[in-house]
Structure 1
Amino acid sequence: MTDASVEPRWRLEWPVSSGQRVGSARLKVSPEDFRVTECLWPEVEGQAGGAEGAGEHLCVRLEKSGDNTEFVARELAQLAGCKAFEVGFCGLKDRHAVTSQWFSLYCPGREASDAELLSAIGERWRVLNWRRHARKLRRGEHQANGFELVLREVQGDRQAMEAALALLAERGAPNYFGPQRFGFQGGNLERAVNLDVTRLNRKKGGRRGGGGSGSKNVLYFSAARSWLFNEVLAARVEAGHWFEAMAGEPAVDGSPTGPLWGDGGTTASGDQEQLERAVVAGHPEFERLFLSTRMKPERRALVTRPDNLQWQWQEDDSLRLQFALPPGQYATTVLADVFELQDMSLSRDNKY
């Protein structure tokens, strides 16, 4: 709990689409209340056992709980006898959940040992499926993530919550980055402001990847870009046009987008460019930071739309929801547009 007498430097709460949330609930009371299923190869994932395939990479679909993705990837590298960077995955999945996702292990010419390796992996995690594949799995390569969530101790007017969920299914929610991206009390933002810009553009030898200060810089830069995006989106939510394209919208399937800031700022023009630059100009510490880099400006959707959103009320004032989202969009962002959420997993973080 933070000290209420200390004014935070960074805003970490942004306006919701309707002006206020209509209910409250507890999230992740147990890991089983938050289930995530990565959809990479739909034609394979519905099968039992392994699927046909060929290539240097053994891909394994695991069910895990209590372990984060990067920890599992490191452990898989040890089991497979390959290097950590030779293990691929499509996205990070919450450890305070029951999640299934694919990992690729670089095991060229070792097909005869696949069964032995899968057995060793199965002693640590449940193996749901496997196949051989020609390439390492990359971030964002999956098609979607499916969610099955249970909210506990739901409070609020049920009719108002039903109406808000129906609107959410129809229109979507503001696609904010979650506050965890910014670190405790915005610590990642503070570190971004204090980066030495003379040492940012290239690591020694021009190599990418690995750990150390280079990967930390990427984390802090990402936090700064994400926070500026949230600030622009918040301005559009307050203006009431976050779900519609503005004049000057870069061509992205006619959908409204916001800036992931870079050198040159934004690729928008006209009214949209003026709005985005005006918002970022209010944060000159970040504006200066991106002027000192070679980071290319990009765009991100302003709207996250849950696919096939369904919900059922339980007898104990709990609410079960099912929906799917594209890669890089988050279930908690969707639900937080309707409910004031108390994430019960946060009290368990100090155990890891």
Structure 2
Amino acid sequence: MTLTQRSSQGWRLDWPTSSGRRFATARIKSLPADFFVDEDLSLPGDITDGGEHLCLRLEKAGDNTDYVARQLAAMSGCRHFDVGFCGLKDRHAVTRQWFSLYRPGMESEDPEFTRQVAEHWLVLAQHRQARKLRRGDHRGNRFELVLKDVVGDTADIDTALARVRDLGCPNYFGSQRFGHGGANLDKALTMDPTKLNRRGGRNAKKRGRGRSTSGSSDTKNVLYFSAARSWLFNEVLAHRVENGTWLEPLEGEPGACENQDLLITGPLWGDGGTEAVSVQGEIERAVVAEHPQLAAVFSTTRMKPERRPLKMKPEGFEWQWQGNDQLRLTFWLAPGQYATTMLDDVFDITDATTFTGENCANSVVQ
């Protein structure tokens, strides 16, 4: 896909790279083992080995996170939303991930339940804790990836990868979030944003153990809303990449007295638009104003504007050539950062798996 290519509906689904071009082509996920992800929970203060939630660390391949969560709920007899996890992991990968299950007063049944789970997935560890795992509770994810059929000048590739290691790359949301051909963005234009204000734990408790008739619809509304918010962020970041300001703070950056690594951010649009003011606020509002239909999605929600770093910088980034056309990469990313986004800054990537639709989990793990 070229940098200017858009879907048939007009959505841009590929954004400018840090250097203005890609240096090679490569294939990813030829085998599940070519995309290995190990979730780093690292919450020793919360792990007291006691509480109402049973936490299991599972290794899985061929199953995405939501599927496993629903299966665990069925096996345990709890509701789907009583199963917690820190982020979505791809189906087409080997992933290690924590799940929590609400099982109050059932400690004596844990060994038998764990044995049942082990018939489906490898159980690597377990403990009990006082609270449910929630999105972003983990420190990050460690990746071991293998790129195959790499075609390009090795010196150029090494230089480009060293640039990512030393300076970072644009922190775009992955294109999978937007659905095939931008379908999730199309849906965002037709959804009822006010339904987002009725979701949450309180309503879930009132519904009791039965299923909500609107639950599936609410979940999809959140998916479409998130896609709209993410796409607008990508557009603002693309503007900053194109004019060369994505690595430097502008006047009006929120939280300008905080750590320098957190200063350079872009908007996660919400009620009132953006928290940025002055020059930066003007730029962000001007970019979003080019997409009035999508901006209108946020006009009736009570979603607070938030910020997201414009730069992603992998930790412990190393790579090794295995012959002339195969490359092994290892690195660590913070929650919400996407491995395929990092790869896209250097390579024109072909995914050996087939995109399966709007609810496919992002290849870059959360």
Deviating 4+ runs (over 6 angstroms): 347-350
Q: Following TM superposition, by how much is the alpha carbon of 1:112 offset from its aligned partner in structure 2, in angstroms?
A: 1.7
1:225 aligns with: 229
1:245/1:204 CA distance change after superposition, 3 Å: closer
1:265 aligns with: 273
Q: Distance in 1 between matches of 2:202 and 2:60?
A: 36
2:182 aligns with: 186
Q: Distance in 2 between matches of 1:97 and 1:174?
A: 24
**Equivalent of 2:191 in 182, 189, 195:** 195
2:364 aligns with: none
Q: Distance in 2 between matches of 1:34 and 1:169?
A: 19
Q: Distance in 2 between matches of 1:136 and 1:205?
A: 12
| Structure 2 gap ranges (5+) | 206-211, 361-366
Q: Is the 8 A contact 2:165 2:314 kept in 1?
A: yes
1:200/1:114 CA distance change after superposition, 3 Å: closer
**Pair 1:253-2:259 in alignment:** yes
Q: Distance in 2 between matches of 1:72 and 1:203?
A: 23
- Secondary structure, counterpart of 1:268 in structure 2: coil
Q: Is the 8 A contact 2:86 2:133 kept in 1?
A: yes
Superposed CA deviations along residues 220-247 of structure 1, whole A, max 9, x for unmatched, are 1111111100000000000111122111
1:9 aligns with: 10
1:71 aligns with: 67
**Equivalent of 1:241 in 245, 248, 257:** 245
1:5/1:148 CA distance change after superposition, 3 Å: closer
1:27 aligns with: 28
**Pair 1:86-2:82 in alignment:** yes
Q: Following TM superposition, by how much is the alpha carbon of 1:42 offset from its aligned partner in structure 2, in angstroms?
A: 7.5
Q: Distance in 2 between matches of 1:97 and 1:13?
A: 23
| Structure 1 gap ranges (5+) | 45-50
User: What RMSD in Å do the two structures reach over aligned CA positions?
Assistant: 2.5
1:241/1:5 CA distance change after superposition, 3 Å: closer
Corresponding residue pairs, total: 343
Superposed CA deviations along residues 231-271 of structure 1, whole A, max 9, x for unmatched, are 00000000111122111111153331000111111000111
For normalisation by structure 1, the TM-score amounts to 0.91
- Secondary structure, counterpart of 1:62 in structure 2: strand
Counterpart amino acid of 1:267? E
Q: Is the 8 A contact 2:73 2:101 kept in 1?
A: yes
1:203/1:308 CA distance change after superposition, 3 Å: closer
Q: Distance in 2 between matches of 1:206 and 1:109?
A: 23
Q: Percent identity?
A: 56
Moved more, 103-112 or 199-208: 199-208
Q: Following TM superposition, by how much is the alpha carbon of 1:196 offset from its aligned partner in structure 2, in angstroms?
A: 3.5
* Structure-to-structure mapping, 1:252-331, within 5 angstroms: 253-254=259-260, 255-315=263-323, 317-331=325-339
Q: Following TM superposition, by how much is the alpha carbon of 1:7 offset from its aligned partner in structure 2, in angstroms?
A: 4.2
Q: Distance in 2 between matches of 1:43 and 1:289?
A: 40
Q: Following TM superposition, by how much is the alpha carbon of 1:185 offset from its aligned partner in structure 2, in angstroms?
A: 0.8
Moved more, 324-333 or 83-92: 83-92
- Secondary structure, counterpart of 1:77 in structure 2: helix
Moved more, 15-24 or 109-118: 109-118
For normalisation by structure 2, the TM-score amounts to 0.88
